[in-house]
Amino acid sequence: MKKIVFAGSECYPFVKTGGLGDVMSALPKALLNEQCDVRVFLPNYRCIPEEYRKEMKYVSHFYMDLGHMPEKKYVGILTLVLNGVIYYFIDNEEYFSSGNPYESISKDLEKYIFFDKAVLAALPVIGFEPDIIHCHDWQTGFIPVFLRTLFYDTEISRKAKTILTVHNLKFQGIANRNTVRYLTAFPEYVFDGEKGGYGKDVNMLKAGLVFADKITTVSQTYCDEIKTEEYGENLHPVINYHHMKLCGILNGIDYEVYNPKTDRNLSVQYDINTAENAKHINKLTLQEELGLKKDGGKFVIGLISRLTDQKGLDLVDRIMEKMVDEHTQFVLIGTGDTKYEETFRNYENRYKGQVSANIMYSDARARRLYAAADVILVPSRFEPCGLTQMMAYRYGSIPLVRATGGLKDSVIPYNEADGSGTGFSFADYCAKSLLDTVNYAKRIYFTRKDLWRKLVIKAMGLDYSWKKSAVQYKKLYVAMSGMDDEPEKIVKSEVEIKAEPVVQSEAKSEKKPKSEKKPQPERKVVNKKTVRKGKATRKKNTPNTTVTTI
């Protein structure tokens, strides 16, 4: 059984701002079925809903050096089991008490450097020795660096291999070099241009790419695209240099979470056999909810997205007047750049009853739009994977996408001549191509209802669950760390909280802050032999940390 640590900055249902949150939730669950022992590490953000916070159990705490900072930092460890997956939350009110996971780069830089080091320092405390540490995006880019530098003489470093998955190369965690020196105390070679250096700055993602044992992207096409200057975000030379450790594995979606047959957000639940009538009812219900003209015969186009330049919204803006007509309605859900928020609000005011601009993010309303829409629009300039098109399939809405990244890998262009294809797509990033493709979809919808019904049934029959992707990741883990062991029983219901050996603090006057006080475990077991062994192991294996366990 492979032992896997996942580390990331967000995870559904605790905190989610985008596709990363879905991946951090669904992939570990799928890996349980592949006989992997998966532990997920997250920051203990204040914004995590109370229903989950109250279920967290205290495991331990310690104090840790952070770079050249004069005071050691408190590291609390809380745990929770959900859907069979064991989650650990790194607790520190100084860093994670904000209401949002992401703030400014200056604040985010320090808190994720702290998080990266704390994850490695916490592993001996919880008694887990992973085969693989799977890191996600720039926020965890320094975990491979810490592992191969300050933690080099530890059992974890000797055993564990690291994977860094790039969900979006555009976001890299670039910061002042001297600031990073102060916060990390990395050896000077880390800041070399061929490693973490980035001009006069340091790039957390670049450092992770260099120090990780393997790099994955979330689709094969994106894996190829980021080697080019057009999509490489100035890191294509580094990526090409490390191409031998690069591979692409397409994301999936959680078919239990996204299931129109059980989705309580819908007015009518349905499956592949009842979709036609149920989607008609869901369309009427959503039209009433949004103040659109109630007419089940309208062609409803949905767009669920962050409102940024990446998402192709400039193309939508250019064709809106020609796209929205007496037979067509357009519904947007999302927030982002002010210019796009105002643009779509203006369209709603101009086209009353035809356009609905929901400048918000509501998962419940998004589900209702998936169930009501005929087409879901994803005209992205670039898209590493995209989950929207997979969710559209699941709910029987047809994706209309630009053929880039994971959109190209998952949407096969429809051909009415032979019925092949699974959606609508266009290659050139231009408004005319988008409008032509929208009009083609409209023509099929209004003039060939028989073909449209077959296309909906085909879409709902596709399998973009995590099962296939989890098998690929399991093969990758085995290839990196050797043959798999005999399968063992995976803990799915509770975590055994063991009493930890007590390691004397270097400064006895240090106390755990009252504001961060956590309940103690109900039972404490102390064994002299274990304590002596634990002292020696902790001293050797946890550099620059001072551990105080209760």
DSSP per-residue string spanning 258-288: S-TTT-TTSSS---TTTHHHHHHHHHHHHHH
Picking from 58, 124, 130, 133, the residue whose alpha carbon sits closest to that of residue 90 is: 58
Amino acid symbol at 274: T
Q: Is 131 exposed, middle or buried (0-12, 13-18, 19+ CB in 10 A)?
A: buried
Cα distance between residue 90 and residue 77, in whole Å: 5
- The single-letter DSSP state of residue 326 is T
Q: Is the peptide bond before 519 cis (omega within 30 degrees of 0)?
A: no
**N- to C-terminal Cα separation, the chain:** 31
The pTM for the full model equals 0.85
CB-based contacts of 207: which residues, under 8 Å, 6+ apart? 141, 142, 144, 145, 190, 195, 196
Is 33 within 8 Å of 470 (Cβ atoms)?
A: yes
What is the structure's pLDDT at 493? Answer: 35
Largest CA distance in the chain: 80
**Torsional sign, CA 42, 48, 53, 55:** negative
What is the structure's pLDDT at 484? Answer: 65
What is the structure's pLDDT at 65? Answer: 97
Residue ranges of E strands in 184-296? 197-198, 201-203, 214-217, 246-248
Burial 47-68 (b: 16+ CB within 10 A, else e): ebeeeebeebbbbbbbbbbbbe
Cα distance between residue 86 and residue 194, in whole Å: 37
Q: What angle do CA 17, 365, 288 make, to 5 degrees?
A: 155
Give me the residue label for tokens 């979470």: 257
Cα distance between residue 358 and residue 290, in whole Å: 9
Instruction: Give 137's Cβ-side CA count (13 Å radius).
Output: 21
Amino acid symbol at 542: T
Cα distance between residue 62 and residue 84, in whole Å: 27
Is 351 within 8 Å of 332 (Cβ atoms)?
A: no
Is 415 within 8 Å of 444 (Cβ atoms)?
A: no
pLDDT digits (tens, 9 = 90+) for 400-418: 999 999 999 999 999 999 9
What is the structure's pLDDT at 318? Answer: 98
What is the structure's pLDDT at 241? Answer: 96
What is the structure's pLDDT at 99? Answer: 77
pLDDT digits (tens, 9 = 90+) for 333-357: 999 999 999 999 999 999 999 999 9
Instruction: Using 70 as the pLDDT threshold, list the residues of the chain that sit under it.
Output: 484-550
